[in-house]
Every structure is written in structure tokens, then in C-alpha cells.
Amino acid sequence: MNCKVCKELINRMKQNIDELQNIRHMSINLYERMFYDSLIQQEMYKINVLKNFLCNMRNMPNEYEYIEKIRDEENVKKNYMSMRQQVFTLDELAKYDGKGGNPAYIAVDGIVYDVTYEAAWAGGTHFELKAGNDLSEQINSCHDKNKILKNLKQVGILER
């Protein structure tokens, strides 16, 4: 989408806002006014998104620089996440058992996962498995581990 198209869209959206405001003023019902207020807010939000897009496009002369910028941002995020990775010993992991207000963490294949807000791990237990332990053997033997682990937040690694 080029800048000219964005500017045309913004102008049309401003016209829509004017029309919606006129309709709102003619409304007698409070709920109708609230409805039109909501539509006006949505249009204004879309205009702001397009304006931000235009500003970003002006700052990026070509698409290759834009792609490089995105890659750099992704690398920064990955580096930040890796710096935040905590290293747990088995004794430290045992403290995260989901009891007494503590988060519930489990370790599988050297990676520590947060299961605190997983319904299946209510109270820090899942069937007879207990949070705060290395459950690699159990998870690998009876579950489709990839399906389960891909939805869990990684919080660190387990020290061997």
C-alpha cells in the first residue's frame, strides 16, 4: 500500500466520521448514540493506525531496510528472552510446586516450563505428577510432548 492510497483512505474515513456524527446528533435514543459513538471511535482508531503506518513508511525508504529492521527487532527479542532464561537446580525447581502462592514449574528435557495457569495443573498437580520436579521421563512416556509443551511458557533451563 502506497502513501497516496493511505491518504485517500484517511480522507474517506474522515468523511465517514462526519456522517456518523450527523446521524448521532439526530438520534434520540441513548443506545443509538452510544452505538454511533462506538463507530466513530473505531474509525478514529483506524485513522491513527494508517497515520502511524504512513510515518513508518516515510522513515523506511525501501522494503529491504524494513525487513532488516524487523529481523533486528526479532533478534533483540530473542536475545532478551535468552538473557531472562533462569538456570534452575533441582533444589531450586522444587520450590516452584504451585503451593502457598508459589508458581508451578516443571522441567522436561532440560527446559523449565510454567504450568501455573494451566487448568490441568491446578494446585500444582496433574494426576499424580507434581510440579517442582523434572518430569521428562513421565511426559515423554505418556503424552504427545510437542503438542503439550508448545503452549507452555519457557521460564528457564535445568542445570544438569
List the beta bridge partners of residue 156: 86, 112
Name the percent of the chain lying above pLDDT 90: 28
- How far apart (Å, rounded) are the C-alpha atoms in residues 88 and 94? 9
Give me the DSSP letters along 36-103. Answer: HHHHHHHHHHHHHHHHHHHHHHHH-SSHHHHHHHHHHHHHHHHHHHHHHPEEE-HHHHHT-BS-TT--
Give the pLDDT confidence score for residue 51 in this predicted structure: 82
Give the pLDDT confidence score for residue 148 in this predicted structure: 80
Give the pLDDT confidence score for residue 108 in this predicted structure: 92
Tell me: the pLDDT tens digits for 91-116? 999 999 999 888 999 999 999 999 99
pLDDT classification of 64: cutoffs 50, 70, 90: low
Cβ neighbours, 10 Å, residue 48 = 11
Cβ neighbours, 10 Å, residue 68 = 11
Give the pLDDT confidence score for residue 120 in this predicted structure: 86
**Angle (nearest 5°) at CA 113 between 108 and 118:** 115
**For residues 53-66, average pLDDT:** 65
Distances (CA, A) of 129 to 74, 100, 104: 36, 18, 12
**For residues 46-50, average pLDDT:** 85
76-90, 115-129, 145-159, range with the lowest pLDDT: 76-90
Give the pLDDT confidence score for residue 93 in this predicted structure: 95
pLDDT beyond 80 at 157: yes
pLDDT beyond 90 at 140: no
pLDDT beyond 80 at 68: no
pLDDT beyond 90 at 4: no
pLDDT beyond 70 at 79: no
